[in-house]
Amino acid sequence: MEIFVFLGVFFAGLLAILLFTKKGRVQADYVLAVWLVVVTIHLFAYFSYVSGIIFKHDWLINLALPYPFFHGPFLYLYVRSLSSEEPLELKHFLTHFLLPFGLIMSEIPILTLPPELKKALMLGNDKTFDIYFTFQSILLNISGIFYVIVTYLLLRKHKKNVLQKFSAKEKITLDWLQFLYYSMTGLWVLIIFIQRDELIFGGASLFVLFMGYFGLRQPSIFRGHNDTNLVEEVIETLTVPDSKYSKSGLSPEMSLSIHQSLVELMKEEKPFLQPELSLKELSGLLDVNPNYLSQVINEREGLNFYDYINGQRAEHFKALIRQGKGENYTLLALAYESGFNSKATFNRFFKKHSGLSPSEFLNNATQE
């Protein structure tokens, strides 16, 4: 367990360095980087405890701070910084970190105790502050549940906007955010219900290792450039709920005209063959307001932008199969030719769209 936790310390620190040295850093990168620094210190504090190092060096005892209270706010603020139009202001950070820093201030009497007394507290041999630590535990449970809920609501809203405006959701780091959220939710389950340090910190170390693996597979997270323009486009054209379409300036005649132009464009120019086609780009080709185009697709096709564009790609793939190209090219090659940019997305969406896997569709087409 000690080695596993130490790996978590090492990789958390390494990922933080990658973020601080990344090109084109934005606010979200700094939020994640500072969070990883906190994770590094938190894991190291536990490592120094289980390895016994903390009892050989008195100053290390001062690392025993209420770090878990930081993780919920950091996750929420990271998701919000990636999905917000404007950079977060200082007041947002102060609001969410008021409790963690307040608890640190409240622990000053403990931090100023002689090393021997602090060691006794850590080992459970001194019950002087039991009431305080029980109160802190209750606050931690409340904080964890609160941030699990508010982050879920924020992520659900962001996911809806992404699916409404983009055809290649992998590029919006949506899967990355969902990975972070569900991983942290799992850790909160361990913290609140299991309450076994070896499982909690083992899970936290595993979380860091998978964070590195997952994040390094997505170029925009720890290296390369940010796809911030894509996120900004999502915000520029926020999804308009159906209940608000009644206030839209789009007339039925205009809606019909836009839809006819859209159908013709799809048939003649096939813009869906562009793997990273966005609503803003498509509306530019049609010379219409992005919100109007989104409304037309919602109302006249009954689909969001993501499903509509990938539906066009799936039909193009079917046409290629019917032309006999499946005999000379792999299914993945035809998927890429149809505008898909991911094998996983292609297989998942085609099954959803057609009720058959790509290979099943090929077999059926061959037998006809």
More confidently predicted of 126 and 24: 24
Would you state the structure tokens that stand for residue 136, as one six-digit string? 């802190």
| Structure confidence at residue 145 (pLDDT) | 96
| Structure confidence at residue 338 (pLDDT) | 96
Give a yes or no: residue 101 inside a domain. yes
Same domain flag for 191 and 287: no
Mean pLDDT for the stretch of residues 84-101: 90
Using the 3D structure, point to which of 199, 232, 265 is the last residue of a domain: 232
Quick one: what percent of the chain has pLDDT higher than 70?
87
| Structure confidence at residue 313 (pLDDT) | 96
- For the chain, the average pLDDT equals 85
Q: What is the pLDDT of residues 120-146, one digit of tens each?
A: 877 776 677 788 888 999 999 999 999
Mean pLDDT for the stretch of residues 42-64: 83
Same domain flag for 337 and 202: no
Q: Is the pLDDT of residue 317 over 60?
A: yes
Give a yes or no: residue 286 inside a domain. yes
Print the domain residue range for 104.
Answer: 2-232
Instruction: Name the pLDDT band for 362 (thresholds 50, 70, 90).
Output: very high
Same domain flag for 138 and 42: yes
Mean pLDDT for the stretch of residues 108-115: 83
Total structural domains within the chain = 2
Q: What is the pLDDT of residues 163-181, one digit of tens each?
A: 776 666 555 567 788 889 9
Give a yes or no: residue 283 inside a domain. yes
Give a yes or no: residue 237 inside a domain. no
Q: What is the C-alpha separation between 346 and 39, in angstroms, rounded? A: 36
